[in-house]
Amino acid sequence: MFKENFHTHTKYCDGKNTVEEMVESAYKLGFTALGFSGHSYLDFACDWCMTREDTEKYKNEINTFKQQYKGKMDIYCGTELDCYSDTVNPADFDFTIGSVHYIKAGNEYLPVDSSIDEQKKAADKYFGGSLIEYAVAYFDIVANVLDMTGADIIGHFDLVTKFNENDIYFNTKDTRYISAWKKAVDKLIEYKKPFEINTGAIARGVRKTPYPAMDIAKYIDSKGGYFIVTSDCHNCNMLDFGFEEAYSNYSDFRIVSFSDIMRNK
């Protein structure tokens, strides 16, 4: 198991803790590296993203800790780039995660991970009431997430299943669903960037298994793809939440240290 986490949020966006609390908690856990990935600024209404002003403060504060912890723990200042954050420059950060949190339909941005009711409402309005077609539209965007963001990491690949544990709302064995995620994997695999094994929804008590689902992980692996483990951490007590299980359940696949990737960047 790698003692690191490159998907973490602070009070600058929707996390519960300060940068300092996160750093101290990571250090106590014996982490060798900690990457911050505050939600990037979005032009349209957003209460869970960093403002432009806060983004500067965020970078400065992380830099202070980076210096302070030199030789003890590597600290990186990254951002979780939403695919529609096209006014944010990835080069301003040490690393970036590329994530799809919205489906754009007409002039509307439909939130993917806020609630099942929002998903259903969006499916009713734009996808003939079909959550499968809604999910297909989601994966069409995911397929382009690296084109849109230029990110270093593919974030929570099948976030659209956040509320769908045990397929209670839609059938993930539906051939339309499967071919949509396969198409997205086939496109993304070309970039040779890591996919996340993301335990965030388990930490939030919404799911029992990480993203991506095991059949998707198997397919990514069969295509030569590889993974990093993160906890999409919004609480300093959950920096390594679900890591043991994730590393053991996904042990058939190639899991790498993102610190190694950063050192060679």
Closer to Zn ion at the Cβ: 4 or 232? 232
Closer to Zn ion at the Cβ: 66 or 234? 234
Closer to Zn ion at the Cβ: 51 or 179? 51
Tell me the closest approach of the beta carbon of residue 204 to Zn ion, in angstroms: 11
Stretch 143-162 residues interacting with Zn ion (CB under 5 A): none
Stretch that binds Zn ion, among 10-18, 72-80, 124-132, 223-231 (CB under 5 A): 72-80
Number of residues that bind Zn ion (CB under 5 A): 3
User: Per CB under 5 A, does 99 bind Zn ion?
Assistant: yes
Interface pattern 33-62 for Zn ion (x via CB under 5 A): ------------------------------
The structure tokens listed for 248 are 């053991």
Q: Decide the pairing of beta strands 4-5 and 33-39.
A: parallel
Sheet containing strand 153-154, strands side by side: 4-5, 33-39, 74-82, 95-99, 153-154, 195-198, 227-230
Instruction: Supply the DSSP string of the chain, one letter for each residue.
Output: --SEES-B--TTTT-SS-HHHHHHHHHHTT-SEEEEEEEPP-SS--SSS--HHHHHHHHHHHHHHHHHTTTT-EEEEEEEEETT-TTS-GGGSSEEEEE--EEEETTEEEESSS-HHHHHHHHHHHSTT-HHHHHHHHHHHHTTHHHHH--SEE--TTGGGTT-GGGSSS-TTSHHHHHHHHHHHHHHGGGTPPEEEE-HHHHTTS-SSPBSPHHHHHHHHHTT--EEEE--BSSGGGTTTTHHHHHHHTTTS-B--HHHHHHT-
Stretch 211-240 residues interacting with Zn ion (CB under 5 A): 232
Stretch 179-208 residues interacting with Zn ion (CB under 5 A): none
Closer to Zn ion at the Cβ: 125 or 204? 204
Closer to Zn ion at the Cβ: 14 or 140? 14
Stretch that binds Zn ion, among 79-87, 183-191, 213-221, 240-248 (CB under 5 A): 79-87
Tell me the closest approach of the beta carbon of residue 245 to Zn ion, in angstroms: 19
Stretch that binds Zn ion, among 42-50, 93-101, 138-146, 188-196 (CB under 5 A): 93-101
Closer to Zn ion at the Cβ: 54 or 178? 54
Closer to Zn ion at the Cβ: 114 or 130? 114
Tell me the closest approach of the beta carbon of residue 98 to Zn ion, in angstroms: 10
Q: Which amino acid is at 75?
A: I
User: Per CB under 5 A, does 164 bind Zn ion?
Assistant: no
Binding site for Zn ion (CB under 5 A): 80, 99, 232
